[in-house]
A and B are shown apart, each in its own frame.
Chain A
């Protein structure tokens, strides 16, 4: 699987927007970009995924660079509940595209 690079940690003030970056310079044309997050003492949970176009859902937005070598997860208004480790993961399409390969992720702290 192609590798992703994320900052180890980030801080945000409560109710401010948060932009979590991810670099994936070796992404292939059929790799989907997935984001999961893991709250303390819980299993990971799905946040969002995309291929080429920017995506929005109730949790977040995903902005994908035109060359697809980087992406940014955007939390529009951070809450204390958003404090978690955020994982950016590339997932191959086609045969064998079943598992997620997690890195260390970005630990997001939200300051009240």
Chain B
């Protein structure tokens, strides 16, 4: 498909485990964003990539969270030593370029449940 693809759509894990969430952006989009959304809240910014580099990681809550985009396309969000409070929907978005008018295209999200 032509949209942003996220896998897995659902992930259930146990407290303390390691988790990877994958985002496949729209082809040719240089800007990629990760957001986290808790129930009843709006999406919360985590990190932004322009190409391969993380241009802004100020939204990552702590050092258990890390994201990479090694070839400037697919990105992986990595969460170490998961906690119950990490349970949320993790959304990925891409944009042709990171500008004030550029439209963000979101995936359907990966729902993470930490037991």
Contacts and interface: CB of A to CB of B under 8 A. Distances in A.
Interface of A: 30, 32, 36, 41-46, 49, 85, 87, 91-94, 96-105
Contacts of A45: 105-106
Contacts, number: 64
B42 A32 contact: no
Nearest to B31: A98
Given A32-B100, A99-B33, A102-B44, 19 more contacts: A30-B100, A42-B106, A42-B108, A42-B109, A43-B108, A44-B91, A45-B105, A49-B101, A85-B42, A91-B101, A92-B100, A94-B100, A98-B31, A98-B33, A98-B56, A98-B95, A98-B98, A99-B48, A103-B42
B93 to A, nearest CB: 7
A98 B42 contact: no
Interface of B: 4, 31, 33, 35, 40-45, 48, 50, 55-56, 59, 91, 93, 95, 98-101, 103-109
Nearest to A96: B56
A45 B4 CA distance: 12
A27 to B, nearest CB: 13
